[in-house]
Structure formats: structure tokens, C-alpha cells
Amino acid sequence: MTEKKYDLDGEECPMGEECAIHFRNDERMLMPEAEYGRIITYVGDYAVITSDNPAILAMVDAMLLPFYETAVLHVGKGAIGDLYELDPEDQLDATRFIQKHDIWDHFEDTHEMVTGMVRADVLDLSKPAVRAPSE
């Protein structure tokens, strides 16, 4: 039996072992009619994730930001969900690459391009893409 994993709200993840956030499972969920999707690919110590830009949720005027984002996260031997257990500064440190884009027709291609670059070891993933604000 596999260890139970929990969402941020403290509830047990309903997807169980199939969950790409809590377990190292690749995922491809696309809804072209809504121009929404999420693609997750694990490559070695990294997870490449393409989804809608999370900053959009906090914005009053979403037109100011690109709608989609592809990120490379350093997860080591773990999964994306393991990053939730880190403090915010360490979460930022785990973010090694970010590319924002706003054309649905490029959603899958952008993910595949970045995944290929991670596999080919042509991106410098040795340091964070975002730095925590200095105190």
C-alpha cells in the first residue's frame, strides 16, 4: 500500500497514486475548447510543468500578464507536491526556469521544447530563476 498524500487543504488527494503532483507520474490534460491544460513531465531531478499562469488568479486585470506558464522545478527524487512542505524561500529556490506565453496553439509545443532542453541539458538549472526578496 502506498503512503497517503494530502492536498494543501489537508484533505486526502482523491487521485491517489495516479496524481502527478504527489507522485512522479507524467500528466497530459488538455481541454482545447476552453484553452486550458496542464502538462507535467518528470525528467531526472526536475519537473517540467505547463499550465495557466498562477499569477493571473491574483490579478484584477488579467490582460497584463501572459496566460500560460512553463516552469522547471527542482524536485530531486520527489514530486512537485513535496515542494509544498518547504518554506516559501526554498520553494522559490526550487524554481529553476520560467517562461510565460499567451498563445494556446503553442501550449504543447512550448512544453515539449522546454522538456527537450532539460533532457539535453542545455538549460542552466543550477540556480533559482527567481530570487526571494532580501530582508
| Residue 134 is assigned to a structural domain of this protein | no
- Pairing, β 68-74 against β 27-31: unpaired
Contact in structure between 125 and 72 (CB atoms under 8 Å): yes
| Residue 107 is assigned to a structural domain of this protein | yes
| Residue 123 is assigned to a structural domain of this protein | no
Name the grid cell of 126.
543550477
Name the grid cell of 35.
484553452
Residue 75 CA to residue 62 CA, distance in Å, equals 29
pTM: 0.84
pLDDT for 15:
83
| Residue 56 is assigned to a structural domain of this protein | yes
Q: How many CB atoms lie within 10 A of CB 14?
A: 8
| Residue 130 is assigned to a structural domain of this protein | no
| Residue 8 is assigned to a structural domain of this protein | no
Name the residue range of residue 64's domain: 16-116
Q: How many separate domains does the chain show?
A: 1
| Residue 102 is assigned to a structural domain of this protein | yes
Q: What is the pLDDT of residues 76-114, one digit of tens each?
A: 999 999 998 899 899 999 999 999 988 999 999 999 999
